[in-house]
Amino acid sequence: MSDACCGPEETRETEQKAEQDHGPQRLWEVRELQLAALAGVLLGIGFALSLSGAELAGDVITLASAVAGAATFVPGAVRNLLRRRVGVGTLMTIAAIGAVALGQFTEAAMLGVLFSIAEGLEHYAIVRTRRGLRALLGLVPPTAAVLRNGVEERVAPGDLVLGDRMVLRPGERAATDGVITAGHTSLDLSAITGESVPVEAGVGATVHAGAINGGGAVEVQVTALASDSSLARIVHIVEEAQERKGTGQRLADRIAKPLVPAIMILAAAIAGLGALLGDPLVWLERALVVLVAASPCALAISVPLTVVAAVGAASRQGALVKGGAALEELGRIGAVALDKTGTLTRNSPQVVDIIAVDGTSQDDVLTSAAALEARSEHPLARAILAATGNVVAADDVTAIAGHGLRGVHNGHQLRLGKPGWVATGPLTDDVERLQAAGATVVLVERDDTLLGAIAVRDELRPEAPEVVAGLSRLGIETAMLTGDNTRTATALAQQAGITAIHAELLPEDKASLVSGLRTKRKVAMVGDGVNDAPALATADVGIAMGAMGTDVAIETADVALMGEDLRHLPQVLAHARHARQVMLQNVGLSMAIIGVLIPLAAFGVLGLATVVFVHELAEVLVIANAIRAAKITSLPETTTVTPAIPAALSLSIASNDKGGSGCCDAC
């Protein structure tokens, strides 16, 4: 508080000091509250002495109370004056000195006590919310077991070097990021991503700092220093985000900064003009009361403290919100555009059906397709290869853009591609049935003779219908944006409960579409943070899905959902709405208090003691309300949404999101 609440530079100084000192662990350890308690005790003793007739002794003790209370804000106000800064502490210092000069020792002491209490509570609230974020680093164990020269030893996380092999036993946490080189286990990432379901992990799987080994012992090769781990990066990014200002915070600053000198001018005018109309001492006293009544500290701290609390709470639930601007925009979202592959789907396509023409086996169809796909990195190619054993790659493989592949295998000419480029022949009805159900179908042909068809699907995330229903309950519209064909996109969207479908889009088309949606309401785009970068940048808020450990996704998006559970999306939107409501409540309360107290103080309706009490009580209310932003808002319960198409036909597709008809456009 003090001058710290009147400008960004002072705020940062206060918060940095709180971090450097690690802050008070308990409420009674706060220096400002200790001095407030001392001042309160002295004020009580002074009051008792005055009542007993020892007025001189009572005045001396009461003056000592005023000095003890003023010790929390006068030194800072003097330092800021030397730097040519004027803030709330300056107003309080002038008011306290003026009260003492007028012989109002009790009022000066009350001002010091109550102002110190409000300042101490603010300090403690900021430190507490920041400590909750820094506690994430406590997930890193104090030591790590590492194999060096064949000998296992325990070292501090800071002593780990790239290439070290950590031994992670059941129940232990990973000290830094790495890759499993031996063993198989399940990893509990709930403290980092907010997901309660353990993730199966084997050789080649990534292990993030803070993950708990829930299965067998594994060896993990270190890929990042402890100071550069994904967990340390999360904390660093969120701390930076808490410094960024949102619209509401900038509004509070814009109001508070000029308000301070304006209040001083107003007080001087009241004292000067009043002296011409009546008793100069009376009007001087009223001017001092106005200084206190118009103090904008509650206004200036209202939004920053809310941002600190809300962003820190979101990070502990697996969502990185990039500061006040992103938080406030997130709270105003009216529509969400969802990418399909990797967002609504798992991005792990599998072969779900193989249809062979008469006289041909399913194995023959699959082997021929795999021979053409053997060297392809396309997701659908990986699905076909995963469904076969060892296969000999075809020769002279050529990709026909937008159609498919051709090559030579065992002396035979092979073609694989989408219906239309390869004739469906007797499989026309089967192909239409599978496509209508949302599957990607490719046809295989040998020496101009159709062998069969392969259907591939990418599983819809099981929580997708629940998420769409949750967004609807929040009054948020949803739309699917995909590069896949319209039939496939429609089938999958129906399963998820989405009615607005935009298919066959190029990345630049997605960006244009999002730009058009923004003309009606605030729009958030949810994607993978890389392929959907243009749309993420165009939206009012870009949300990266599954961003844990992905630098690009974390850096490019306004909000990064660290886990793979899509249910975090409506949760973070509801949380942001709640935080924005808290911001508006605080700004409104702060302005109302100032607007009411100034005229009452100027016309002598309220004295200094009453104004001090009301004003500091308002600051305490603002602080308490801001802390409410740390509470994660729960979504209202609802019944489970049933997919719009029968389960037997609930097939979906993995697309390349580059337009066209899925696989074959990239083959």
Residue with tokens 């530079």: 9
SS3 track for 523-543: EEEEECCCCCHHHHHHCCEEE
150: region left, alpha or beta (phi > 0 left; psi from -120 to 50 alpha): left
Residue with tokens 């501090």: 156
DSSP letter at 58? H
Q: How far apart are CA 317 and CA 310, in angstroms?
A: 11
507: region left, alpha or beta (phi > 0 left; psi from -120 to 50 alpha): alpha
Which residue of the set 339, 458, 532, 565 is catalytic? Answer: 339
Question: What distance lies between CA 266 and its chain's CA centroid?
Answer: 42
Cβ contact 305:626 at 8 Å: yes
Q: Among 269, 317, 292, which Cα is nearest to 567's?
A: 317
Distances in Å between the Cα of 52 and the Cα atoms of 48, 355, 392, 449, 522 are: 6, 103, 105, 114, 67
Element (H, E) at 478: strand 477-481
Q: Judging by DSSP bridges, how do beta strands 541-545 and 523-527 pair with one another?
A: parallel
Amino acid code (one letter) for 98: G
Helix 568-602, helix 297-315: angle, nearest 10: 170
Question: What distance lies between CA 472 and its chain's CA centroid?
Answer: 21
Q: How far apart are CA 482 and CA 503, in angstroms?
A: 5
Task: Determine how many CB atoms are found less than 10 A away from the CB of residue 588.
Answer: 12
Longest dimension (CA), the chain: 118
Q: How far apart are CA 253 and CA 491, in angstroms?
A: 50
Return the beta strands (E) in 251-394 as ranges.
Answer: 319-321, 335-339, 350-356
Q: How far apart are CA 408 and CA 195, in angstroms?
A: 47
Element (H, E) at 539: none
326-337 b/e (C-beta count within 10 Å ≥ 16 → b): bbbbbbebbbbb
Q: Among 611, 584, 610, which Cα is nearest to 91's?
A: 611
- Active site (annotated) includes residue 532: no
The tokens for 352 are 């779900």
Return the beta strands (E) in 98-217 as ranges.
Answer: 144-148, 151-155, 165-168, 178-182, 185-188, 199-201, 206-207, 212-213
**Alpha helices (H) in 391-506, listed in sequence order:** 428-436, 464-473, 486-496
Please identify every residue annotated as catalytic: 339
